[in-house]
Structure 1
Amino acid sequence: MATRTRRPERREEPLSRERIVEAAIGLLDTAGEGGLTFRALAERLATGPGAIYWHVTGKEELLSAATDAVVAGAVTADTSDATPQEAIRALALGVFDAIDAHPWAGTQLARAPSQSPLLRVFEHIGRQVQALGVPHAAQFTAASALLNYVLGVGGQNAANARGHQLDTDRTEFLSTVSATWADLDPDEYAFTRNVADQLRDHDDRVEFLAGIDLIVTGITARRWPTDPAPS
């Protein structure tokens, strides 16, 4: 009688919220928000959808947790020895790179202004705005300007990158657009024609940081209204 060979038992990592969020990020990166379903997530984790519901209540909570995990990595860099300007640059670039790597995260940040992922970014920006010495009455305005720039440019850059991947590579795309700009009507588009070569050769991250520097310079140079004296 033949002896049956016993298969070694597979040791699987216990299901946890962290594993679920990590798997959700992987699905979002490859399939987008539409591809994030509990069925697809269960298949990836080799479990049942019911087991996932023990850890997250639904898709909205899962999207928020995935976005928060991506953002957390961007805002936890040690800036204790940095100036406020340097800290703002590091934070902004961290979020920019996070959105570039995970384009769906930019959409989620803009979509849910009251949820913790966006508040985490706003809080870190706001602390550096305070460190710049901006009066209390102007801190919301200054922090909001920085936040809106980071989310707007980061989201647009991610959208452009997705378009390049579908159609052509970035260098070819920029060369084509640059040539189109250079061929515009010289009277109606004098400025655009003049900077067409700069579009072709520009670096997205360098230009992004230059914009951050312009905003921070404006914040520090502006003569803000002073806070009212305490009564």
Structure 2
Amino acid sequence: MAPRTRKPERRAEALTRERIVEAAVELLDTSGEGGLTFRALTGRLATGPGAIYWHVASKSELLDAATDAVVAAALATGPAGSAGSPHKEIGAVALGLFDAIDEHPWLATQLATQLSRNPWGPVTPRIFESIGRGVRALGVPEGGWFTAASALVHYILGAAGQNAANGRGAGSGVDRGEFLDSVSRAWEALDPGDYPFARAVADQMRGHDDRAEFLAGIDLILAGITAVHPPAP
């Protein structure tokens, strides 16, 4: 009697587009865009390149999908209207993006690319929809929706991207308090004739909370929007 041939073990986790994107995000987080290669991806997923190409045609498509997946998770703050006031809804969306950009070092660059080169893709309308629902709930007339939402989106992405860059630029081993104190002292030492404002606010830089400052900026923009477009009685 011939010995029975053992059947190969079935993968514990079937390869799907979602699993590929998840692995891509992990590679981007640890190695950056340069580290995201199909060779590295096949090694992480323990599969062949053909299986990946069946789901994703190119690195560009993979970057788009990874960006969209992270943004979708960041914006999962609940359906519109469930968070309370429009101000709170917009604030929740803004903080979700702020934290995602801080957590994923590659995301700010990819979001800038999406807005400029691929505005018809899923990422840009997803962000505008999340912010725009709050703008509409503020009572802004339809003719002002795009301008108001654009002001918020560009502030959110710009401020969040700069905050993340500041954190990486200072270095992982640098104490934040000590770093801010050194900057504050440098500003205080500036020529008072040339830099009166920078000297005046130097002390406010010490110990400030990045997320609180970010939300304060959102409040300023919302105050301007509601001043130009006051809610109907």
Q: Structure 1 stretch 172-181 or stretch 32-41: which is displaced more?
A: 172-181
Deviation at 1:137, TM superposition (A): 1.3
Shift in CA distance, 11/58, structure 1 to aligned 2, threshold 3 Å = closer
Matched residue, 1:146: 152
Matched residue, 1:91: 93
Please give the root-mean-square deviation of Cα atoms over the aligned residues, in Å: 1.8
Matches within 5 A, 1:75-224: 75-78=75-78, 79-81=80-82, 82-113=84-115, 114=119, 115-165=121-171, 168-223=174-229
Q: Structure 1 stretch 89-98 or stretch 170-179: which is displaced more?
A: 170-179
C-alpha distance in 2 between matches for 1:137 and 1:9: 60
Give ranges in structure 2 of 5+ residues lacking alignment. Answer: 1-5
Deviation at 1:117, TM superposition (A): 1.3
Matched residue, 1:227: none
Q: TM-score, normalised by structure 2?
A: 0.88
Deviation at 1:172, TM superposition (A): 2.4
Contact (CA 8 Å) 2:23, 2:45: kept in 1 or not?
A: yes
Q: Deviations over 1:7-33 (max 9, x none)?
A: x95853111111111110011001111
Contact (CA 8 Å) 2:135, 2:145: kept in 1 or not?
A: yes
Deviation at 1:46, TM superposition (A): 1.0
Contact (CA 8 Å) 2:139, 2:229: kept in 1 or not?
A: no
C-alpha distance in 2 between matches for 1:105 and 1:116: 15
Q: Secondary structure at the match of 2:57?
A: coil
Shift in CA distance, 119/103, structure 1 to aligned 2, threshold 3 Å = farther
Q: Secondary structure at the match of 2:47?
A: coil
Deviation at 1:164, TM superposition (A): 2.0
Q: Deviations over 1:139-181 (max 9, x none)?
A: 1110000000000001111111111225723222212111111
Q: Structure 1 stretch 209-218 or stretch 100-109: which is displaced more?
A: 100-109
Give ranges in structure 1 of 5+ residues lacking alignment. Answer: 1-5, 225-231
Aligned pair count reads 218
